[in-house]
Structure 1
Amino acid sequence: MGAIRRALDFLYMVSGLIAALCLVAILGLIVLQMIARWTGEVFPGAPNYAGYAMAAASFMAFANALGRGAHIRVSILLNAVTARVKWLLDLWCFGLGAAIAAYFTYYAYNFVYWSWKFKDVSQGQDATALWIPQSVMVAGGALLTLALLDNLVHLALRGTHRISSDTLDAHAE
């Protein structure tokens, strides 16, 4: 079981690293586009690529952010109820969140499949095959689903989730 835990934690960390690299790529694209304008050159597709990198950064960061407590949680209610009710509310939230994330991932996969099947390309000058940047959405959704299920199972078996508390929650307890 320890090997699975280490693998999942590594996967969440790598997804956060990929998200950070996507943010650096956005910075690089903006700088390259500025340099291209100053020199009178054209960098076709730079805004599209920055948009793809922004979507990739968002979706790849979801699982990592969940584990680090960076997602918004309304803890005012959780801090006002008994431990048993808090546990039940957490179970309900993780279960519902996992179901919604799985639903999203399933339909995102269908979206990517049909983009690939119809050879759909972006409308910009770059004419990028859209299934490529859309695939990151599926990967990020799948990682979020996995992270929510991971927390749900951990909560059900061990009585506590794996989300590290942020500073506000730590002071409230």
Structure 2
Amino acid sequence: MTSKQGVIRRALDGLYQVSGALAALCLVAILVLIVVQMVARWVGDVFPGAPQYAGYMMAAASFLAFASALNGGAHIRVSILLNSVPDRVKWLLEIWCFGIATAVIAYFVYYAYWFVYWSWKFNEVSQAQDASALWIPQSVMVTGGGVLLIAFADNLISVLRKGTHRMGSSIVDQSFGE
């Protein structure tokens, strides 16, 4: 591996880790929102918009965690089929799967971007108590989708160049002796 490839590899792995860490912080933010809402109720006050903010954080946590989960082997895969075919067929199935996944997430990110753009352009706000600008939580969806697109493309390129993906084995795969 050349030094340029090593720099790119470290940058991509760092991107996936940062995305996963941000997802974890979103989960912590959900906990904090719930505790603050409970305290507000105990003292007889109201925290308007807390459920909406928790919902935004849940969506953000999901989308930001996708790439980290993919590379950690936590996404559902049909390993039984992949393990039962010869290596040559397995390689073609891996290419097909990562190719389709990359195309689908690229389609999603493209249209999600325009969804966010029009929300920003028309100044759409939540109809709930929080009245937040919707482009802000929607932007996190596009960001997480973009990182997942990079992760799928990274794995597709790895399969094409080296014959194997970069995903770790999941707990389920390890329990079946893979």
Normalising by structure 2, we get a TM-score of 0.95
**How does 1:143-154 map onto structure 2 within 5 Å?**
143-154=147-158
Deviations 1:62-118 (A, max 9, x none): 000000000001111011100111111010000000000000000100100000000
SS at 1:17 equivalent? helix
Q: Which runs of 4+ in 1 moved over 3 A?
A: 170-173
Measure how far apart 1:20 and its partner are: 0.2
Would the aligned equivalents of 1:63 and 1:143 in 2 still touch at CA under 8 Å? yes
2:22 to 4, 10, 18: 18
Does 1:64 find its partner at 2:68? yes
The CA distance in 1 between the partners of 2:30 and 2:86, in whole Å, is 45
Figure out how many residues of one structure are paired with residues of the other and give that number.
173
Q: Percent of pairs identical after alignment?
A: 69
1:137 to 110, 134, 141: 141
* 2:52 corresponds to: 48
Measure how far apart 1:168 and its partner are: 3.5
* 2:6 corresponds to: 2
The CA distance in 2 between the partners of 1:66 and 1:168, in whole Å, is 14
Measure how far apart 1:172 and its partner are: 3.6
2:132 to 128, 133, 144: 128
* 1:94 corresponds to: 98
Unaligned runs of 5+ in 1: none
The CA distance in 2 between the partners of 1:17 and 1:134, in whole Å, is 19
SS at 2:132 equivalent? coil
* 2:82 corresponds to: 78
Q: Which residue identity does 1:127 align to in structure 2?
A: A
Q: Which residue identity does 2:87 align to in structure 1?
A: A
Does 1:164 find its partner at 2:168? yes
The CA distance in 2 between the partners of 1:167 and 1:130, in whole Å, is 37
